[in-house]
Chain A
Amino acid sequence: MKQQEKPLEEIKIDPRIPEGPLAEKWTNYKAHQKLVNPSNKRRLDIIVVGTGLAGASAAASLGELGFNVLSFCIQDSPRRAHSIAAQGGINAAKNYQNDGDSVYRLFYDTIKGGDYRAREANVYRLAEVSGNIIDQCVAQGVPFAREYGGLLDNRSFGGAQVSRTFYAKGQTGQQLLLGAYSAMSRQIAKGTVKLFPRREMVDVVIIEGRARGIIVRNLVTGKIERYSAHAVVIASGGYGNAYFLSTNAMASNGSAAIQIYKKGAYFANPSFVQIHPTCIPVHGDYQSKLTLMSESLRNDGRIWVPKRKEDAEAIRAGKLKPTDLKEEDRDYYLERRYPAFGNLVPRDVASRAAKERCDAGYGVGNTGLAVYLDFSDAISRLGINVIKERYGNLFQMYEKIVDDNPYETPMMIYPAIHYTMGGIWVDYELQTSVKGLFCIGEANFSDHGANRLGASALMQGLADGYFVLPYTIQNYLSDQIQVPRFSTDLPEFEDTEKSVNDRVKRIMNIKGKRSVDSIHRELGLIMWEYVGMSRNKEGLQIALDKIKEVRKEFWTNVYVPGEEYDFNTELAKALRLADFIEIGELIARDALMREESCGGHFREEYQTPDGEAKRNDEEFSFVSCWKYNGEGEEPTLLKEPLIYEFVQRQQRNYKE
């Protein structure tokens, strides 16, 4: 059934932020929200799509409360979701280091780091619950790094002047995810959570304007399956793989986001994509993914390029080694440009500075698209063993990929697509513009504005899953207790499944000449070239034209081998690629609309004389919300104004 369409001018974006002073909003909300009593909870079904930090922590917490949870993941086990690859750490305003940290300071750093494009109330809540996350993880047995006195250790991350990052070697994401996974496993044993691995959501089912189920493709049998629930939670991660090469896992995708966008959920700030400054540079055209080297390395590593162009040229030609270059012949450009934060400037700033040096001809490596990350100072200061203990697994990973020993020669790094701040629009309760449809973790747009600070993704994923959604979803479910379970035989399920089957058949029947990957790679090159680290009007228009051609190529010339109802990896990839093309177009469209530079979105036309991002708060202080209008139609731009009541906006300054 179709929702009654409202005329556009009447659609107001309402974030539903609670009244009251910033520091009291969440407390007040919790005190007054509606709850579901224990005996009613077990009559309510909740679907959670994705088992990363957000999805697993939500499934576990909702199961513990007594809801009946259905959990879906595309991997063979929930423990393999891509949160597992997060390396550096998780932020929390514990102030264990007595260095002046507080909830307000973490809130402020996040708002400023996001270049004043995030919602104050959401970010404050995030900072507020950050401490609880650490307590929770410790209780679950997450083996965080400790000092000799037995207490928790911290390290520093970009964009902050305090040490508030908790870590477990260079495998913090792994340990936090295994914590959430084990909590979820406990609920699976108890029967409150039911697990559906190797299943990929292919559509959402809407009944009378509310999300009531999903359609999934069983990745082993290829069969299309239906599941119903009282509410649906999307925790499917980010859409960075629209760029083909990224630090995301191979199967990470934006399809769940696109499916719900097409069913009425707004897609917010799609152009806010994070490019991580420290990744292993691209090496060949057969390359399948990029590997991140944790931001934590910037605690002890110094970034530099040669001061003289002729030295850079000699290095590129293999005639000179970086270790041959004297101290005075090296340009530690971050320390030079940003004395106050030095190598620990936020990611967007560090990435652009690397690009600027390489574009100017000072890059190293055989492509000239790399800069050095050098540990020689830290090794002579602290000794090789300390560096080994802090970063051993990262150094080993680097050596295995590059075949070079980073203890002896500096690492080579270059920026790469890493994280998407943009995503599905949600209100304060993490509910999308479709009732009963929630979105958490990287998949939503909520807390990072135009740039995410390091070690804040883990914080947001777990905040949403452990401490926010389990409250806010009850406010929605409290009036659903009389609603009986839904049959999956309802016409809405029939129709949605049919449209999925039609889409699958259409792709199988194209029988063209191009492989899925070859078209995906083509899309990625366009995205990186025109919609990457720096963008301009002309380039974005070219991108929009070229993406149209890619779409046409895909729908007329893709070749998917094998059978529809089988374990068919190519078909799974093709379905995702069709959605990446839509996302790519949205990213470019949003970037073209936003005529300012902010955070990760850098428009060449809008910069300060010394090359820093120039925001335009007069005209662009809003969340761009894109509303789908049907195939081939242009989406409508709706705006949620960003009102800063508590923070004075400034131009971001990491220089002094």
Chain B
Amino acid sequence: MEKFINITLKIWRQAGPKAKGRFETYQLEKVSTDSSFLEMLDILNEKLISEHIDPIAFDHDCREGICGMCSLYINGHPHGPDTEITTCQLHMRKFKDGDTIVVEPWRSAGFPVIKDLVVDRGAFDKIIQAGGYISVNTGGVPDGNAIPIPKEHADEAMDAATCIGCGACVAACKNGSAMLFVSAKVSHLALLPQGKVEAARRVKAMVAKMDELGFGNCTNTRACEAECPKNISISNIARLNRQFLSAKFKD
């Protein structure tokens, strides 16, 4: 049932990449519990605009949990307190009347702040550019049914490929590691016969790029898996490690 709650928001404000940031406190009254978290921020921004205060910058686009654009570290959790969702799918019914909600950007060396809650995740694109693909050109490929792929492999590849590249794993990790993201792509492609051909080259190139871009190491705390909105399993990290070692041995 729809209810209305009053909340206090402590939101990170930062004018630009080099500016000093700080928390600002805002009160919001009579927020419908049926509204989404981002709709609540829309309402707050409308209020700020009407008071001629610069609205809060935050990334968002599809608002249905698939584009990976929204981020936000809410009360100590990437994508907030609910599980298996992105921030845009979080609804205010998860909060109580009188709650104080702390909202921060992703914090990681790999994701510098652009403004307020917006960060630069270009590093993820660079990791994919390093090898997150199968090297085929358009045209001249075999028939789609030429290579049968066991259903279990296809399903497992699909589960890994579900990653939306939002960066919650990095934000959740005390080391700021991008291992879950990288391993999801490595696994997706390595599980398919089409991707096996260049698997060794791919895993080396992607891991090297990840290290180069300032992401930390994995110490198996599993925080990434717990916070991932798409349930990407850390068994992918184990697969990446096996792939990486066997590729290095062959060198």
A→B interface (CB under 8 Å): 57, 60-61, 64, 75-82, 84-85, 94, 96, 131-132, 134-141, 143-152, 168-169, 171, 173-175, 178, 181-183, 185-186, 188-189, 195, 197, 220, 249-251, 283-284, 286-289, 291-292, 396-397, 400-401, 403, 466-467, 470, 515, 517-518, 559, 561-562, 567, 569-570
Contacts and interface: CB of A to CB of B under 8 A. Distances in A.
B53 to A, nearest CB: 7
Interface in B58-72: 59-69
A61 to B, nearest CB: 4
A82 B61 contact: yes
Contact of A185 (B38, B49, B120, B133): B133
A76 B120 contact: yes
Most buried by B among A57, A134, A169, A289: A289
30 contacts: A76-B120, A79-B125, A82-B67, A85-B64, A85-B67, A136-B136, A138-B144, A144-B154, A146-B148, A150-B151, A151-B145, A168-B161, A183-B133, A189-B129, A249-B62, A249-B67, A250-B63, A286-B35, A286-B43, A288-B36, A288-B38, A289-B64, A400-B82, A403-B91, A515-B50, A517-B42, A518-B46, A561-B53, A567-B115, A570-B55
A188 B115 CA distance: 27
A231 B150 CA distance: 44
Contacts of A80: 61-62, 67-69
B161 A178 contact: yes
**Among B32, B39, B124, B137, which residue has the most Cβ atoms of chain A within 10 A?**
B137
- Going nearest first, the 8 A-B pairs with the smallest beta carbon separation are A150-B148, A182-B133, A139-B141, A143-B158, A61-B138, A138-B144, A143-B157, A80-B67
A284 B62 contact: no
Contacts of A288: 36, 38-39, 42, 63
A135 B66 contact: no
Given A182-B133, A569-B57, A85 B62 contact: yes
Interface size class of B (residues with CB under 8 A): 35 or more
Given A85-B67, A171-B66, A561-B49, A567 B151 contact: no
A323 B112 CA distance: 51
Interface of chain B, main secondary structure = loop
A224 B206 CA distance: 34
Contact of A60 (B85, B138, B141, B147): B138
B128 interface: yes
A398 to B, nearest CB: 11
A586 to B, nearest CB: 25
Contacts of A569: 55, 57
Given A141-B133, A286-B32, 7 more contacts: A76-B121, A84-B66, A146-B151, A168-B161, A182-B134, A291-B63, A517-B46
A418 to B, nearest CB: 13
Contacts of A284: 2, 32, 34-35
B114 A567 contact: yes
Contacts of B130: 189
Interface in B91-146: 91, 93, 114-115, 118, 120-122, 124-125, 128-130, 132-139, 141-145
B139 to A, nearest CB: 7
B192 interface: yes
B194 interface: yes
A146 B142 contact: no
